[in-house]
Every structure is written in structure tokens, then in C-alpha cells.
Structure 1
Amino acid sequence: MSKTDRAQHYLAIDQGGQATRAILFDNNGTALAEFSAPITTSHPAPDQVEHDPEEMARSVQEALSGLAEILGDQPPPVQSAGFATQRSSVAFWDRSSGAALAPIASWQDRRDASHLETLPREASQEIPRITGLRISPHYGANKLRWFLKNHEAVKAAAEAGTLCCGPLASFLLARSLHESPAFADPANASRTLLWDVHTKNWSDYLLHLFQIPQDVLPESVPSRHAYGTISLGQQVIPVTVCTGDQSAAVFAAGKLDEEAVYVNIGTGAFIQKPTRARHDDAAPLLQSVVWDDGSEGIRVLEGTINGAAGALVEWIGQEEPNWARYLNGWLEETQDPPLFLNGVSGLAAPYWIPDFPSCYVGHNASEAPLSARATAVAESVIFLLEENRRVLEEKGEPVKRIIITGGLAKSDALCQRLASLTKCEVIRPSYSEATARGLCYLLRSCEEDATEESWQAASGASLHFLPRQAVELHRRYQAWREELLRRLT
């Protein structure tokens, strides 16, 4: 069989917060078949958020088995496979046997966050310089340190010299690939807060700061690498790409548009702006690695909003569990909603206040109709997106277009509000799964016959939302901003 025949299909393994999915794509990014295996999340104590590592490893195999069954006895040949996983989640396993030693600590896990306050003052300057990120309990380093000091099985394996720990992606590669490798890609390694974006390797300074021996970590390798092989039915497929979920999502539309900002808006929202500039001081944003193949590195300025759909679930969902069905109609019919200060899961970029209290603002605002309160929560997400866009402008990174994906992006009314507030064109692609499709793009980009034209042609028609005059929306935004800043001072 010729390479051209084999190059028509790619396998994307997308490990997310709710499930692990195996998706077969053709060469132009059209999903042909998929299977999803759910995972569970536990909250054993305040600030602790965990996944069962055996269930997580099993979910990859279940997704692959389910996809193989769908494809039947004569599946199409697959050129290569890739992984995209939750960033900042960390795992612990035995390097020899692959056996899990402790729960997976989710990116949402904030255990022992107070320890970060004891770091030397110089760390607040050195960590952003080395990593492009900021000190945060959401990143892996502090969780790795805690388990090394407090979990008996992890401590015993470290003493025996058999411990491997690090990004969730590394654990899934070790458990899923025939070769049981111990590799860490740049996007996931960087989210441990231990990886130097300049040397593209683990940082001696940060390892010492967090008291983590380098020999327990996976080997740092490029985003595109010979990771090993994985089985899909009877096929044995080379795994050539590994990256983070949000790092893959920006490539779903193809080659990055440097005049656009990419917004993926689900439980939280991620705002990513491709940049060629080296921002020595990215604050109050992050500077993240989304791709590094060993020669070419691509970075984005990144902002995060912790409470997007998650805020609606928390503040509206108990009263109306099917809020997502009604949100667009509520946004269209509500003329004068109250304001909502959104600190759900912590107020993130560009303010970074972990314990900011959420609340409605306005006379009897908490007693407003459900539709008005839901609109207020949804508008708070739009307002926070605008705050991040303003910071990008201040840093010399103007935004002409917003490419938006994710569950909340399905609301036309929300997209229109975003366009009118930011005065930017908002583009909503027809595809729904940005992470998996972006991973497919990265897999096929090494093929000689891969063209941008064929990828764009298969992307389908996008919906475009152009700015409209929205005096009342801008008035509410200014009032919201003034109230937010007043409470922050």
C-alpha cells in the first residue's frame, strides 16, 4: 500500500475532563467515526480534585476498542496517531510496571496552595522568566511536591528508584503505547511549572525550588516525536504527536492567523493570541508554548476565565438544569439584565484573584427573573473576554478577528454580543470539536501532499458576526468594570 493511500486517515485521542475520545479523521479534517469513554472526577477533600488513574488508562483502551468495533473488519489504514490531554494534571506510576501509584491530581486541584506563599521573593520574578507562566497551585509543580512528601506509595517508589511522575499525557503514553515510553511534550511539560521555555528542558532552578529530583520526571522531547506505537484493532499505528488540549485547539482552523485571537469557551474559557514577539514580561497574561517540534516553536499570549459555562452551572443550573437549551432565547429577550461579578473558581486573567467572591450587582438583582440573571452571568464572560482583549492591545498585539469554539459558542446571541462589545468580527467555525481536529491538523502537517486549501475547503462554512451598535451593552460593561475595579482596590 502506498504512502499516499495511508496518509488519508489519522487517529486523534482526545482526553478531556468528562471523557476520553478516539476519533478517526480523513486527510482534510473530517471526522469519520468516533467513540467516547466517560471518566469520573472525585473531590475527596477541599481543594482536592482527582481522577482514578486506572479508570483513566482504561478509558483510552475502551475508546480505541469502541472505535475499532465501529470501523468493522476492514477499517481504513491509518497513517499516524496523536494524543491531546488536559494540561496541568499530574500522575504517578511505576516506571518498570506502569502501575499507577496515586490518584491523578486534576488541573483543578489546589492542594497545599499556601505553600506557594512561602517561596522566596525572587521566585515571583524567576518563574515567569523561565516558564512564561505565573505562580499558581493549578500547575503541576506544587502537586508533585506534595505527593512526594505525603503519599506513601509515591515516597516508596522514589526511594526504590522506580518512580515516574509528571504530566497526565506522559502517564497515558506509558500505559497506552506498546513501548511504555517515559516522554513529556513541551505543551504539557511546561504546565508543570518546571520546564524552561528557553532551554526546552527541565529547569534546575525550578526542580530545586520545588524539591523534585529530575530522575523521577519523563524525558523532555519535541511535540512531534517518535513516541511509540498503539493498536487500533489489528492495526499498529505510530504515535507521532502529543500536546495539550488547548494547545491543539488553536490549530483546528489550520495555519494560525496572527491577527486573530482564538477563544475556546466551555466550562472555562481560554483566550490565545499567536505571537512572533518575545514578551519578556507577559503579565498579566501568560506566554504559553502550543507547539515545538525541536526547531520551530510557536507561542501564544494566553488569558483564562475560570468560570464560563461553569459559572452558569453553579449560579443557574440548580434552578434550571437545562439552562443551555434556553440561554440563547434568554439573551435575545432580556433588555436590561443586572450585572454579575464572576469569581467562579477564582478570578483569572487579567486580575488573578483566587478567592474573589461572585455576586450579582444592582437593586434587587438577586431577585431578578431567571432569564435576566442568566444573561448577567453570560455577559460577565463576555466582559472578561473584553478585559483580556484590551490587555493584548496594550501589549502591541491588536486583535482583528475572534475565532470562537466550544459549547457556549453555539449561542448566536452570545457571539453577537461579543462582536459588538469588542468591535471585532467573530467567526464561529462549523466544526464542533476543536481539540481533536487541531490534533489531526498537526498530525497531517508533516505530509508532503498536505495543503491549506484542502483543509480550509473541508472546514465548512463559518458563521460571521459583525459588530453592531450596542449602546446599552457598552454602558453595562463600563458599569461592570467600574464595580469590579472598585472591589479590587
Structure 2
Amino acid sequence: MAKFIMALDQGTTSSRSILFDHNGEIVAVSQQEFTQYFPKSGWVEHDAEEIWQSQLKTMEAVMKKAGAEVSDLAGIGITNQRETVVVWERSTGKPICNAIVWQDRRTADVCQQMKSEEAVVSAKTGLRIDPYFSATKVAWILDHVDGARNRAEQGELCFGTIDSWLVWNLTDGEKHVTDASNASRTLLFNIHEGDWDDDLLALFNVPKSMLPEVVDSSGEIGRWQDVAIAGVAGDQQAALFGQACYEPGRAKNTYGTGCFMLTHTGDQVVDSENDLLSTVAWRIRGKLEYALEGGVFIAGALFQWLRDGLGLVNKVQEIDQLASECTHSDGVVLVPAFAGLGAPHWDPNARGVLVGISRGTEKKHICRAAIDAVCFQSLELLECMEKDTGLDISELRVDGGAVVSDVLMQSQADIIQRDIVRPEIIETTAFGAAALAGLGVGFWESRDELAHTWREEKRYSPQIDAGELIEKRKLWDKAVERSKAWA
């Protein structure tokens, strides 16, 4: 009998494979980083072939670590960095250029010129016209790679987000698919009708022949070495599922390269009046479920920048140590708008600012300001979600690499004035992919059974009075305004 589900967690900086057992416990992990390319200011690219090879190597390595055979696998689940675009040749499976990453801002001017169409686009997609999403990236490739548009119109090219690219390679080109959660991030998918939208394709000038078939997030879609590929979801939706946020009002926040908060809204699309995104959470047995989402582009990447860019610390862990030496930042505020500002500001031309520096400013104050920055950005998202849904979000489930920091988690509880709940298994993005796959092949019978695999590890409750935050919030809001429209 098959014993494990393999989750492929293809992220922005690394590819990982994780084996989970029936209790939701991690059996083995393999991870491999890959190259980041920054050819121009604001441009971010990946080598899609390197992504595939790194993912394949981790699959082989994790099986070896666990001493597992292919016959031990019940299924494979995939979760991926979203919005990142790959265009490849249908005949050879070779990319025609580097993948354009979700963080890339090269189409900011194009998006600005299309703002008059935003109301129509938002009504269909739940998104904003922003370089963050896939559509303008695809169009840019077709218009800037020699002969690409003509080849696409002739049906010779495929477009896909990273999930599509992995499935294509895992099935040796047999399956060109994407799940509804990833499709909903492209600006080309009508989230109400659950399909590609001809009007949007015409608006963004993307040939329909390039697009993958949209499938359920749970259920067999192809096979790798006779193992069912049975779960696919974008990373944030996978984390929502992995956190057992199956009911409206349940919310999670993922602290990775960026910081992404999602609240489940059931079978209803909630149109945000506070500049959040309405998105597909997942599609299971043909039924769409939805979420509200707010995205912070720079979170964990801020701590890496303090280490690698400024050389302020030698290890990220030192940031906690320094920040814990002071209860406040002594007036220093850091707004990490390195790739513009996401929700609720949506300013691709914002840039990072570090203000309030005095002669007495020390490293510890900057470290404290960095932690506060992640927390205040998350507070903005939570406030918008409660206004849009009319729900009181009493607790926030958290995951991602940065949640191992007790300093960050306690600061987050203090700043949002609500409980922060960290689960035993913080790899909830990968587990969400595994859970969707396991549900799809009967490894787990139901969501109720899956919910019992989620276990609370630690709860952080606010330790300061809300009144203490008033002045800090004023300074934060002031600094955010300084960062806007800089580029």
C-alpha cells in the first residue's frame, strides 16, 4: 500500500520536494536553490529549464533520503510561485526565453496606459491591472522575442505559469494544463464563469491557442512514472488549504519572500472596496471556492537584504537578537517598497525608504524597524479584509520560513492586536499541495479527516495595549506616503 504523498514546492528562490505521511508529518525534504537574474532595474527572470532540473533533482533526492520507491507514492501535489510566465515551443518543449518572474516590473508603463480598462478587468478577474500578474508579461514576450507573436498565432507556442511548466515536463509533454487557482492569477480568467475569457484575451492580445486547459485543483490530471499527479494550486491558495481554512472567515498569513494574507470567502466572490484581490481559492469536483487576498511584495526578502545587501548582520537570526534589545525603533521607519507597493496601495513606482535616522540610530533600531515593517504591512491587509467581509477575524494562522522567529510573531500579535497561531508543521504550502493530491486519490477521505492533521504548536497573544501603537502607526503611514511615486 502507498505510504506517502510527494509535494513539489516550486518557489521563487528554490525548488523543494517533501514527502508527507498519512498523519501529515514530514518524512523527508530536499531543496535546491536556482539562479536569480536581474538584467535591468526592475526586471527579474528565471531559467525555466533550470527550475525543472532543480525540481527533478529534489524529487530524486527526497526519495533516496526516505529510502522510498515509486510504488510508495500515492500521488504528487504541486504548488508554485504564481504569476511567473514561461513560454515554450510545443514541438520541443524548450522555452523561447527566460521566465518572467512575478516580481518583475517591466510592464509597469503598459499597465498604467491600460488603467481606463481596469474596472471591466477587475469585474471579471477580481484583480488589478498590474505588472504583478501574468497577462502583460506574456504579451511582452510575444512582442519582444523575435518571431514569437507569429509563432504563437500559428499554434506553435505554449504559455503557462510554473505549475503548467512542471506538469508538461513530468508528463513528457502529454498534458498542458493549469488549475483554476493559478489561472485566476493571469488576468485572462473569468473567476465567475470559471474559464478563459475571450474579451480579456483580446484586450491583452494573447492568442487562445497558447493557453493550458483549466482543471480541478484536486483530482488526477496526469501521471509521472505511473504515479498520479493529483493536486495543483498556487502557493498562497495551497497554504490556505494546508492551514485547514475551509470556512468563510478563516484567514492565514504566509511569511516568505513576500507576505500574503488570504481569507476564505466560501462560494461567494467578495468584491473588494479596499483594494484587495478577489481570487479563486481552489476548484474541487468542479466547484469553485474563493478568497480575498492581500499581497506584500517584500517580507522575508527584507531580512535577506539586511544581511546580503547592507551587510548589517552575518545571519538572519541576528536580526531577532538585535531587535529584541529594544522595544521600539527610536523613530526609525523602514518601508521595503523595493518592488513597488502591493495591496492596498498598488503603486509600482514606490521605492524603499529608511527615515527617522538620527545620530543615535544603531543597528538594533534598523532591525526593529524591519520587523515592524512586515507587521504593519500585514495589519493594513487585515484591516481591509475585515472591512470588505464584515467579519471579525479573531485569529491569524501563520506559516512560511519567517514564522520560526518568536520576535516577529510576538510583534505581529502586538501590532494587529489579535492572536497569532503557529501550527506544528509550518510547511503548510507544501502540505496544502499534498492534501489536495491526497484528497484527489483517496489517501485522505475528506476535509474533516485532513483538518485533524492540523495541530497548533504555539499561540501568541497581544502583550501591549492598542494605545501604545497610535504614534507608531502615524509614523508608519507617514513613511509609506514618502515612498510612493518615487521611481
Alignment partner for residue 429 of structure 2, among 421, 424, 435?
435
Q: Which residue of 2 aligns with 1:52?
A: 47
Range moving further from structure 2, 350-359 or 153-162: 153-162
Matched, 1:384 2:377: yes
Deviation at 1:437, TM superposition (A): 0.9
Task: Letter of the 1:441 partner, please give it.
Answer: A
Relative to structure 1, the CA distance from residue 388 to residue 460 in structure 2 (aligned partners, 3 Å threshold; closer, same or farther) is closer
Alpha-carbon offset, residue 456 of structure 1: 5.2
Q: Determine which of 229, 239, 258 is the counterpart of 1:249.
A: 239
Query: How far off is 1:485 after superposition?
Result: 6.8
* Partner residue in 2 for 1:312: 303
Shift of 1:351: 1.3
Is the Cα–Cα contact under 8 Å of residues 29 and 62 in structure 2 kept in the other structure?
yes
Equivalences for residues 161-200 of structure 1 within 5 A: 161-178=155-172, 180-200=174-194
Residues of 2 paired with 1:49 and 1:354: CA distance? Answer: 14
Q: Which residue of 2 aligns with 1:139?
A: 133
For residues 94 and 354 of structure 1, what CA distance do their matches in structure 2 show? 31
Aligned to 1:406: 400
Q: Is the 8 A contact 1:420 1:468 kept in 2?
A: yes
> Cα 1:352–1:429, aligned 2, differ >3 Å: closer, same or farther?
same
Aligned pair 1:274/2:264, yes or no? yes
C-alpha spacing 1:30/1:261, structure 2 compared with 1 (3 Å)? same
2-structure distance, mates of 1:74, 1:84: 22
Whole-Å separation in 1 of the counterparts to 2:387 and 2:66: 50
The 2-side partners of 1:452 and 1:280 are apart by 27
Partner of 1:36: 31
The counterpart of 1:20, out of the listed 15, 19, 24, is 15
Alignment-derived partner of residue 330 in structure 1: 322
- Given that residues 181 and 228 in structure 1 are in contact (C-alpha distance below 8 angstroms), is that contact kept between their aligned partners in structure 2? yes
Deviations 1:347-400 (A, max 9, x none): 2211112222332333517x6110111101210221121112111222213210
What's the RMSD between the two structures over aligned residues?
2.4
2:387 equivalent in structure 1:
394
CA distance in 1, matches of 2:68, 2:252: 39
Q: Does 1:158 align with 2:167?
A: no
Other structure's SS at 2:333 match: strand
Q: Which residues in structure 2 correspond to 1:433-472 (within 5 Å)?
A: 433-446=427-440, 447=442, 450=445, 455=450, 458-470=453-465
CA shift in 2, pair 1:34/1:481, >3 Å: closer
Out of 83, 89, 98, the residue aligned to residue 93 of structure 2 is 98
In structure 2, the gaps of 5 or more residues are none
One-letter code aligned to 1:440: A
| Cα distance per residue 1:61-81 (max 9 Å; x no partner) | 212222232344756622111
2:251 corresponding residue in structure 1: 261
Query: 1:224–1:430: structure 2 CA closer, same or farther, 3 Å change rule?
Result: closer
| Alignment counterpart, residue 127 of structure 1, candidates 121, 125, 131 | 121
Counterpart Cα distance in 2 of 1:242 and 1:430: 23
Partner of 2:416: 422
Q: Which runs of 5+ in 1 are unaligned?
A: none
Rounded to whole Å, the distance in 2 between the matches of 1:251 and 1:385 is: 20
1:229 equivalent to 2:223? Answer: yes
C-alpha distance in 1 between matches for 2:68 and 2:198 = 51
Supply the distance in 2 between the matched residues of 1:159 and 1:483 (Cα, whole angstroms).
49
TM-score by length of 1: 0.91
**Other-structure match for 1:285:** 276
Contact kept, 8 Å, 1:60 with 1:176, in 2: the verdict is no
Q: Is the partner of 1:464 in helix, strand or coil? A: strand
Mapped to 2, the partners of 1:99 and 1:37 lie a distance apart of: 22
Q: In 2, are the aligned partners of 1:223 and 1:292 still within 8 Å (CA)?
A: yes
Match of residue 346 from structure 1: 340
**Partner amino acid for 1:146?**
W
- How far has the Cα of 1:460 moved from its partner? 4.5
